[in-house]
Structures are given as C-alpha cells and as structure tokens.
C-alpha cells in the first residue's frame, strides 16, 4: 500500500501561520487519482493525502488578521493534505466557515458543492423552469447539483447506473429534490419523450462518466446547448455524433475546480459570493452533506478500499 500512518512534529508557527486541529476529511475520487499519479497535480513526496476537510483553529501567528482560535476553517485551494490530525498552514490557504455549518457539510464543501455551483452558474444562463441533465447523479457533485438546482428552480434529469438497490437510490435522490431519476439504459428508450412532455429539453448536460452514457445523454440536449465534462469515471473518451455538432450546434466544455480557483485567485468577490450562497443553502437546509460513512483515521485502509468499490453510494469521511 502507498499509505502509512506517521507521527510527525507539528511545524513551528510563523507570523502568518495558523495552527489547525483537523476534525473531518473525506476521501474523494480525485484524492485517489492524485495518489495513483493519474491526476493533473502531483505532490512532491512524501505527501499528506486529502484535498478537503474541516478543522478548528487552535492558535494564530501575530500577523494573522482573518482568523482567531475557535474558528472553523476549510482549505482555500487543493493540495492542503487534510488527512492529518493537526497542521500549521499559511493564513491564505484557509477559509473561515460559519460555526453553525455542520461538520460533515463543511468537510465536504470545498470540492463537490463548489463544482456543482460553478457548472450551474457559468456555462448557460439558466432560468427557473429550465432543465439540466447529468450522469453519475449519485456522486458528491451529482447530489449537490440536484439540491442547488432545486433551490434555484431548475428541473433535473438524473442518470445513474443500474444496480441491485436501484429503488433505494432513486428514492434518496428524489428526496434531495431530483425531478427524474433514470438508468443509462433508459436514455435510449422512447419513454424519454414522456419526460420532456412535462419539462423542457435540457440546455445544460453535466458529464462525469464518458463513453456511451455521455453520447446517449447528449442526444437529449437542446440545440445550442452545452455539455460540461468534469470527470471520466468510465475511463472512455467522449464520443459525439457529427450531426450533433452540425445540426444542433452543441457546445462541449470542460470544468476543473482547481483551475477555477487559480483563475480567480485575485478575485475574492467571486469566491466570497459563491461561498455565501452555499452557506445560506446549508443554513436553510437546502444543501446537505452527501451520504457519509464516518471512519476513524486508524481505519484508513478500510476507508480507501470502500472508496474504490463499484456502486459506492456513501462517502468515506475520516474522523480526525
């Protein structure tokens, strides 16, 4: 295994540093990809895994202005290395979170809900009543898309892989606010026409799968609609019929949250307004943490294995 649990000295607190006691950190697919070396970011080794999580400030350096002991914080960017009990980080690498945000919501906030928020906001000017179609709808991003769309008045058509406990999954996604939950097989069936009698054809498609699922989903996009790819779980390319380009002028785009943060590093306003919207949705009960399994840090091996299993519908959260 690539992992070992190690005891390290906590670094000395510099003037602009913050000493944080980590509380909880999830294991995301991107964390695993980073470790396998198949991701666009490679950390110099040895490295601490984990790109998101929530902690509590224990102590701050004398030049720190935005944080004080007792504050809750989450990473401002990727690569923080959140799978640890304590750490000393530069102030600018942390964002303060309101203290009434539940721990599991805060721990899972900086990657998936932010990705969902940006994809719904940045590619198509959606208005209440418009619809969005997405595959991998039971993923962390998928669950956030359903909830943020519902709160914004957008309809969602949610595609999931067929599985043994399908009715249970459908029920869970409907409870989050999904309008329709269908399997990949259903995408090719004539019954799809019935769905689009009650809601308009989607202007936006969100793809984290690739392969056949994506090609089928694309068929239902409105002319001039946009498909945004943010993941490739099937490890297969995106195939697009020529006719979709010529006769429907569909747009294909990509999205990576890490890149968005880099591009907006000087634009604190955009970041603050996104975070405030997400905090408010959480405070109103309109955005919840994904289904989670809480695992003590020493059982990290079991948590990693569970993350790699097919049809995982619960996110493993390390309790630190």
Q: Residue 182 above 90 pLDDT? A: yes
Residues 245, 126: one domain? yes
Same domain for 146 and 235, yes or no, is yes
Whether pLDDT at 300 is above 90: no
Q: What CATH number does the domain containing 30 carry?
A: 3.90.180.10
Final residue of a domain: which of 257, 277, 304?
Answer: 257
What is the extent of the structural domain holding 207? 112-257
Instruction: Give the pLDDT score at 75.
Output: 94
User: How does residue 60 score in pLDDT terms, banded at 50, 70 and 90?
Assistant: very high
Confidence of residue 135 (pLDDT cuts 50, 70, 90): very high
Shared-domain flag, residues 118 and 102: no
117 and 101 fall within a common domain: no
198-215 residue pLDDT tens: 999 999 999 999 999 899
Q: What is the dihedral of CA 25, 31, 34, 38, to 10 degrees?
A: 180
317/296 Cα distance (integer angstroms): 8
Q: Is 291 left (phi over 0), alpha (psi -120 to 50) or beta?
A: beta
Residues 137 and 253 occupy one common structural domain: yes
In a domain, 250, yes or no: yes
Number of domains forming the structure of the chain: 2
Q: Residue 215 contacts by C-beta under 8 Å, 6 or more apart in sequence?
A: 238, 239, 240, 241
What global pTM score does this model have?
Answer: 0.92
Residues 36 and 59 in one domain: yes
Domain identity same for 121 and 252 = yes
The closest of 251, 213, 250, 256 to 235, measured between CA atoms, is 213
Same domain, 90 and 223: no
Q: Are residues 77 and 171 in the same domain?
A: no
- Quick one: pLDDT at residue 1? 57
Percent of the chain at pLDDT > 70 equals 98
Average pLDDT of the residues in 282-288: 97
Residue 10 has what pLDDT?
86
Q: What is the CATH number of the domain that holds 192?
A: 3.40.50.720
Q: Read off the pLDDT of each residue in 311-319 and give the average, rounded to a whole number.
A: 83
Instruction: Tell whether the model's pLDDT for residue 93 goes beyond 90.
Output: yes
CA dist 175 → 170, 274, 281 (Å): 9, 24, 16
Positions marked active-site: 39
**High-pLDDT (> 90) share of the chain, %:** 78
Q: Is residue 92 part of a domain?
A: yes
Note the pLDDT of residue 29.
Answer: 80
């Amino acid at each position: 295994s690539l992992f070992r649990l190690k005891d390290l000295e906590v670094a000395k607190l510099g003037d602009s540093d913050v000493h944080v006691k980590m509380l909880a950190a999830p294991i995301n697919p991107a964390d695993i990809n980073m470790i396998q070396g198949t991701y666009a970011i490679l950390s110099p080794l040895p490295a601490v895994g984990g790109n998101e999580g929530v902690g509590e400030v224990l102590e701050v350096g004398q030049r720190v202005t935005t944080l004080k002991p007792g504050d809750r914080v989450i990473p401002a960017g990727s690569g923080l290395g959140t799978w640890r009990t304590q750490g000393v980080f530069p102030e600018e690498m942390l964002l303060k979170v309101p203290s009434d945000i539940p721990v599991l919501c805060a721990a899972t906030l900086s990657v998936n809900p932010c990705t969902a928020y940006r994809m719904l906001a940045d590619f198509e000017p959606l208005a209440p009543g418009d619809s969005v179609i997405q595959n991998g709808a039971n993923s962390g991003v998928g669950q956030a898309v359903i909830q943020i769309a519902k709160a914004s008045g957008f309809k969602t058509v949610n595609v999931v892989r067929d599985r043994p406990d399908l009715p249970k999954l459908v029920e869970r996604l409907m409870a989050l606010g999904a309008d329709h939950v269908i399997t990949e097989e259903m995408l090719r069936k004539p019954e799809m026409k019935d769905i689009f009698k009650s809601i308009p054809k989607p202007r936006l498609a969100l793809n984290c799968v690739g392969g056949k699922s994506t090609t089928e989903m694309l068929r239902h996009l409105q002319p001039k609609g946009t498909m945004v790819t943010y993941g490739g779980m099937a490890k297969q390319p995106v195939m697009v019929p020529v006719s979709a380009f010529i006769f429907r002028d569909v747009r294909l785009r990509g999205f990576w949250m890490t890149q968005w943060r880099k591009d907006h590093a000087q634009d604190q306003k955009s970041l603050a307004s996104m975070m405030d919207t997400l905090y408010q949705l959480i405070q109103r009960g309109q955005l919840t943490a994904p289904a989670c399994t809480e695992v003590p840090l020493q059982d990290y091996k079991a948590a990693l294995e569970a993350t790699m299993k097919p049809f995982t519908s619960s996110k493993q959260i390390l309790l630190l």
